[in-house]
Structure 1
Amino acid sequence: MCGISGLFDTLGTRDFDRALAARINNIQAHRGPDEDDLHFEPGLALGHRRLSVIDLATGQQPLFNEDGSVGIVFNGEIYNFEELVPELQAMGHIFKTRSDTEVIVHAWEAWGPECVHRLRGMFAFALWDRNQQTLFLARDRMGVKPMHYAWLADGTFIFGSELKVITAHPGFARDIDPLAVEDYFSFGYVPDPRCIYRNAHKLPSAHTLTLRRGDAAQAQPVPYWDVHFSNDNPINQADAEAELRDRVRESVKLRLKADVPLGAFLSGGVDSSAVVATMAGLSTTPVHTCAIGFDDPRFNESAFAQQVADRYQTDHRLEVVKSDDFDLIDTLAWLYDEPYADSSAIPTYRVCQMARKHVTVALSGDGGDESLGGYRRYRMHLGEESVRSRLPHGLRSPLFGSLGHLYPKADWAPRMFRAKTTFQAIAMDSVQAYHHSMSHLRADQRQRLFSPAFNKSLGGYNSITVFRGHAERANTDDPLALIQYLDYKTWLVGDINTKVDRASMAHSLEVREPLMDHQLIEWLATLPSSLKINAGEGKYVFKKAFEPLLPNDILYRSKMGFSVPLASWLRGPLAERMRESVLSPRMLDSGYFNEATLRTLIDQHLSRQFDHSTALWMLIMFDAFLRQAQAPIQAAPPVAAAATVPA
């Protein structure tokens, strides 16, 4: 796991400033504290920050082939590299290291751009082929590892693991993209391929980008893989359970190779518990497990994590975090580079901080909910879809649209009585309804939040465009498969993977996700949706498969999630900062917001008339982003001490 950076002259072969290349590379030193190096040649600069995990002695980068004509900077892990080595050696390729990085170099020589099809793992890399004067970028299938890039006005192409590599270049104009602002206040993050800045981009998951000197201006990302939901596997349930256990076991086993201490996150939820149970079955020594607890029992799952730790006799470490642990706002703004509003980034940062004290690599359970139908919103969407399928749109839209308009917003009421959103969703088509449920602020709320001038600047753009584009490529009529596909392309990449990558790499910790293995996901996409959600039970076949390995109160308890008490924070210890932040001169002078709406959100939340904690947190994090964006680039994040409860 590492940080990569580079500069490429798309027009000629001018030399790049060494001090500048070193500075933009070192701004992400947290991703790779063990070693760093740079490579220069006419028209090219490659930078690498290394976190040593495999082949500690000889895995330095940038790494080149035997004659020095092909080189690479690489972030990630190739889990099947040991299988590829003998195949490449039989073709005449000579290896000088034991690292997975060198496999990619020789795979390029053997198979060219098609080499990505042979790689199983998480990766983002840039490969230089001097003979072809070609720079080749690639990102893994599930978007676990990041890749940002931009073209500068002078013809320079710049790339890096984090957006701060690009914004640190003096030639990059930090002009905010209004469409990205609309996306952020819908999703809580800026979805690929857009960045918050107009001239920067994220390489989408499962895409490559090929630049040839003299012809780079026309380069566009090209997809090389996609998940296809056939849902037509004739397997019976018992066999599906057995095969699922075997496939998870194989995926976990692949991810246990490391030359440094390795462990796992253990939240006490289904997915992390299944990963730990599987690891324990593969290990002859106790598994290192790490958990975060909260001093607020409403958010504390540590007792369930302890159950699993006791059952498998893991070497378990627990730290309890204070419920007022909100001092990370500026740190998170620095780490994420863009506005990012998932408040679970706070406990994720803390569990990574704690885990790094004991291990360098940690396995997680991320990806299980998306692949196996684990979210409550999936079950709600299917319920709404059953109503939509029974009523023609011409009747459904005016009837339920009127009910949604008339029914009061009832944040204070029990969930079963909060029907406004459900009525609104039933009036919509499937994609629009899922976008409605996934939007932190819905279209009418965003319109009121934004100033008239900013609304006009959007030119009619709405963030649903993101969902519409992906839905056109989903190629499925199955209602669950469609929204799983949408989550793979948006939520999983833009929220979950971004959160874990930045939080873990802030502490130089590598996180591996066995439930995001692409071969496992391909197989799961063949299973009927009835094996994923059955009689209202999400992750049905997964839970059945792991009944022999985990207790029922782990498998079948209500999902708690990794959340924080936002509403009470913003009415209590964060109330003053909230007001100062949301109504700061930066926010009011930006031209994005309607000041009256900002004041209404604050007043209604503080008076407990409505719970506006989601909107207010998004605004706080946007202000924190603006503060960072307007300041000189820092080489290290603001220091945030661990807010743990004394033993």
Structure 2
Amino acid sequence: MCGLLALVCAPARSVTDEIVGAVADSSHLMRHRGPDEPGTWSNDDVVLGFNRLSIIDIAHSHQPLRWGPPESPERYALVFNGEIYNYLELRAALRSDFGAEFATEGDGEAIVAAYHYWGTEALTRLRGMFAFALWDTEAGELFCARDPFGIKPLFMATGPAGTVVGSEKKCLLDLADAVGFDTGIDGRAVQHYTVLQYVPEPETLQRGVRRLESGSYARIRPGAAPEVTRYFVPRFSPVPFVSGREKTRYDEITAVLEDSVAKHMRADVTVGAFLSGGIDSTAIAALAIRHNPKLITFTTGFEREGFSEVDVAVASAEAIGARHVTKVVSQAEFVAALPEIVWYLDEPVADPALVPLFFIAREARKHVKVVLSGEGADELFGGYTIYREPLSLKAFDYLPRPLRRSVGKASKPLPDGMRGKSLLHRGSLTLEERYYGNARSFSDAQLRAVLPGFRPDWTHTDVTAPLYAQSQGWDPVARMQHIDLFTWLRGDILVKADKMTMANSLELRVPFLDPEVFAVASRLPLEQKITRTTTKYALRRALEPIVPAHVLHRAKLGFPVPIRHWLRSGELLDWAYQMVDSSQAGEFVDIAAVRRMLDEHRMGVSDHSRRLWTVLIFMLWFAIFIDGSVTPSISEPVYPVQL
């Protein structure tokens, strides 16, 4: 895990000492991503900046990394964030097939050599998480790429003076004047954020900054805009189970997970694991302890009864034989950390679960330098309860379209909260109309009330329509999974995982999000993912010999956060009123409307907690990055190089 920054100058402006210094200074804003070793490299066209978190080949594999074939030994310069877990196999193949030579024992050289000999096909051979920028001195271009699922981030901005790319948006914004790109707020992105609770790729809240999407690469030449190409499109292609041979398919799931975890354990530092009360993280920890009998697991909870996974996680750790560490978060700690957390985020993400993740990452970093976690299992194996909705709405599929619409209209006069109203309304809609991921906080009427610039033509379909077009003919659950791979997973789950662990200089690895694991999961038929009584059916069957019985069929909780209660009394409510009353974001948010929502929630008239949290996090982001009225206190702990 590391932080990278690269500036490709326009032809009329060659790299100077001043530009190198500016990139080095901007790179320091993400020192938390790599406190072990900074570095820069430049030529007349490009300057690369880097902050390293040393995990593999600690004494060597310095970056920016130079590599080339024997005839041109310093042709390439690489800055790379992430890990390539099959780097040993790649290096062996490159030696055998091409006689490639390596000066280090790390995974960075495997990327460069693979690109040199295999071209862009190399990206499909990498098993890992990555965002990298590779300067080719002979071609005179910067080649950038992200991993298939978007585990690691990469921002891009182009102006008259060139193009800058980096792991964190704040570093790009620090160079905005030098590069000359637009930093104004994108109103459509604000509306998308309010609906989805995150800013969907490739957007950011600044018009001039975009993200290189997951599974894509870009070529950047001096004086030209980035040329972006998608190299990975996930496809769910179910293969029916053969009666009597189900165990073979379950064994296939087990085998590919065992292999993925084994490769994710490769490191020259200590590897631990996050452990909630669910099946996903427990499975990863149970497989990981086979490779590290001294495995340490970590979980978090809150000082409120019913909002803790601690007891289940402790029981799971005891069952698999792991040492366990717990961090309990108070409401006061929660509130005090919010400005720092939003600064680390770069973009607002209205998922309160990222706060406990921040705290458990900080606790884990006292003991280990790398943790494994269970992200991605729900999207790949069918783990969200909402995926069962097509089964409950199946009867509506047999109604003529006009009749379905009539049912929806008939449900509108029914009182909110009345049993059956939501079912009738959602049954009247097509899948494309009703499903845009796990975040569904605001109706159009509610959006109009809080967004002064609301536009009905800026909807979730901006994001989802192209994705639904790719999945025509698939079963409804596979189509929902496809939506989530491109929206909720990479917009919320992976952003909070990357940002909250990197805030604490901790590397997080996600063994479920492996190309080989996806290949197996993508072949599961509908009935092996979702039934009327459970989710992740095939995965649960496969994990029966591995996961403790008390976890195997437990409902998904994650790290539940009591914001509904805390926004009715105590420090969080006080903070919320202060944030609303002092906000300067009135151009984008109706301050009076938000205050009315907060009053109604406090008095128990309505539960506005999710909507309030979405708006409050935007207000805090605005106060930090736009009007400067909030200045977070950013701690800069100095960690040892090796744990």
TM-score (norm 2): 0.93
Contact 2:437 2:483 in 1 (8 A): no
The 5 A counterparts of 1:555-594 are 555-573=552-570, 574-588=572-586, 591-594=587-590
Among 503, 506, 509, the alignment partner of 2:500 is: 503
2:157 match: secondary structure: strand
Distance 2:396 2:626 in 1: 47
Distance 1:221 1:342 in 2: 30
Distance 1:635 1:99 in 2: 39
Distance 2:451 2:576 in 1: 18
The 5 A counterparts of 1:198-209 are 198-209=207-218
Distance 1:633 1:81 in 2: 46
State the Cα distance separating 1:593 from its structure 2 match. Answer: 2.9
Q: Which moved more, 1:325-334 or 1:521-530?
A: 325-334
What's 2:603 paired with?
A: 607
- Confirm or deny that 1:331 pairs with 2:340: yes
State the Cα distance separating 1:428 from its structure 2 match. Answer: 1.4
- Confirm or deny that 1:542 pairs with 2:548: no
2:273 match: secondary structure: strand
Contact 1:382 1:479 in 2 (8 A): no
Among 250, 265, 275, the alignment partner of 2:284 is: 275
Q: Structure 1 residues 490 and 89 mapped into 2: Cα distance closer, same or farther (>3 Å)?
A: same
The 5 A counterparts of 1:206-355 are 206-214=215-223, 216-217=224-225, 219-235=226-242, 236-283=245-292, 285-324=293-332, 325-355=334-364
AA aligned opposite 1:251: S
Q: Structure 1 residues 273 and 104 mapped into 2: Cα distance closer, same or farther (>3 Å)?
A: same
Distance 1:354 1:135 in 2: 38
Deviations 1:511-564 (A, max 9, x none): 110111121112211110111112421011111122222233211122223121
Among 134, 141, 145, the alignment partner of 1:134 is: 141
What's 1:401 paired with?
A: 409
What's 1:22 paired with?
A: 24
AA aligned opposite 2:190: V
Q: Structure 1 residues 392 and 327 mapped into 2: Cα distance closer, same or farther (>3 Å)?
A: farther
The 5 A counterparts of 1:69-108 are 69-90=75-96, 91-108=98-115
1:142 match: secondary structure: coil
What's 1:644 paired with?
A: none
State the Cα distance separating 1:435 from its structure 2 match. Answer: 2.4
Deviations 1:588-628 (A, max 9, x none): 3xx22334422331221122110001111111111111111
Among 160, 169, 179, the alignment partner of 1:163 is: 169
Distance 2:62 2:419 in 1: 56
Q: Structure 1 residues 39 and 634 mapped into 2: Cα distance closer, same or farther (>3 Å)?
A: farther
Q: Structure 1 residues 576 and 268 mapped into 2: Cα distance closer, same or farther (>3 Å)?
A: closer
* Runs of at least 5 residues in structure 1 that lack an aligned partner in the other structure: 411-416, 642-647
Deviations 1:564-609 (A, max 9, x none): 1111111112223212322434133xx2233442233122112211
Contact 1:381 1:434 in 2 (8 A): no
1:328 match: secondary structure: helix
Contact 2:157 2:210 in 1 (8 A): yes
Distance 1:265 1:275 in 2: 9
- Confirm or deny that 1:357 pairs with 2:366: yes
Identity of aligned residues (%): 33
1:534 match: secondary structure: coil
AA aligned opposite 1:482: R
What's 1:4 paired with?
A: 4
Contact 2:579 2:616 in 1 (8 A): yes
State the Cα distance separating 1:123 from its structure 2 match. Answer: 0.3
Distance 1:254 1:637 in 2: 37
AA aligned opposite 1:187: L
What's 2:446 paired with?
A: 445
Distance 2:123 2:547 in 1: 36
The 5 A counterparts of 1:31-70 are 31-66=33-68, 67-70=73-76
Contact 1:4 1:47 in 2 (8 A): yes
2:457 match: secondary structure: coil
Q: Structure 1 residues 321 and 471 mapped into 2: Cα distance closer, same or farther (>3 Å)?
A: same
Distance 1:549 1:137 in 2: 39
Q: Which moved more, 1:132-141 or 1:329-338?
A: 329-338
Q: Which moved more, 1:522-531 or 1:487-496?
A: 522-531
Q: Structure 1 residues 595 and 267 mapped into 2: Cα distance closer, same or farther (>3 Å)?
A: closer
Distance 1:425 1:271 in 2: 30
Contact 1:140 1:207 in 2 (8 A): yes
- Confirm or deny that 1:473 pairs with 2:470: yes
What's 1:175 paired with?
A: 184
What's 2:641 paired with?
A: none
Across the aligned residues of Structure 1 and Structure 2, the Cα RMSD in angstroms comes to 2.1
State the Cα distance separating 1:448 from its structure 2 match. Answer: 2.2
State the Cα distance separating 1:636 from its structure 2 match. Answer: 8.0
Distance 1:233 1:13 in 2: 59
Contact 2:340 2:632 in 1 (8 A): no
AA aligned opposite 2:610: T
Distance 1:569 1:639 in 2: 26
- Confirm or deny that 1:483 pairs with 2:484: no
State the Cα distance separating 1:381 from its structure 2 match. Answer: 4.2
State the Cα distance separating 1:280 from its structure 2 match. Answer: 2.3
AA aligned opposite 2:431: S
Q: Structure 1 residues 640 and 134 mapped into 2: Cα distance closer, same or farther (>3 Å)?
A: closer
Q: Which moved more, 1:58-67 or 1:313-322?
A: 313-322
Distance 2:101 2:630 in 1: 42
1:53 match: secondary structure: coil
State the Cα distance separating 1:418 from its structure 2 match. Answer: 5.6
Deviations 1:4-46 (A, max 9, x none): 0010014345114222111111110000000010001102100
- Confirm or deny that 1:533 pairs with 2:527: no
Q: Structure 1 residues 204 and 418 mapped into 2: Cα distance closer, same or farther (>3 Å)?
A: farther
Contact 1:264 1:288 in 2 (8 A): yes
Distance 2:631 2:296 in 1: 32
Contact 2:176 2:183 in 1 (8 A): no
Distance 1:464 1:419 in 2: 26
Deviations 1:488-512 (A, max 9, x none): 0010001000000000000110011
Distance 1:160 1:252 in 2: 29
Contact 2:437 2:487 in 1 (8 A): no
Distance 1:422 1:270 in 2: 29
Contact 1:241 1:545 in 2 (8 A): yes
1:244 match: secondary structure: helix
State the Cα distance separating 1:230 from its structure 2 match. Answer: 1.1
Q: Structure 1 residues 440 and 10 mapped into 2: Cα distance closer, same or farther (>3 Å)?
A: farther
TM-score (norm 1): 0.92
State the Cα distance separating 1:139 from its structure 2 match. Answer: 0.2
AA aligned opposite 1:367: G
State the Cα distance separating 1:422 from its structure 2 match. Answer: 3.2
State the Cα distance separating 1:637 from its structure 2 match. Answer: 5.2
* Runs of at least 5 residues in structure 2 that lack an aligned partner in the other structure: 638-643
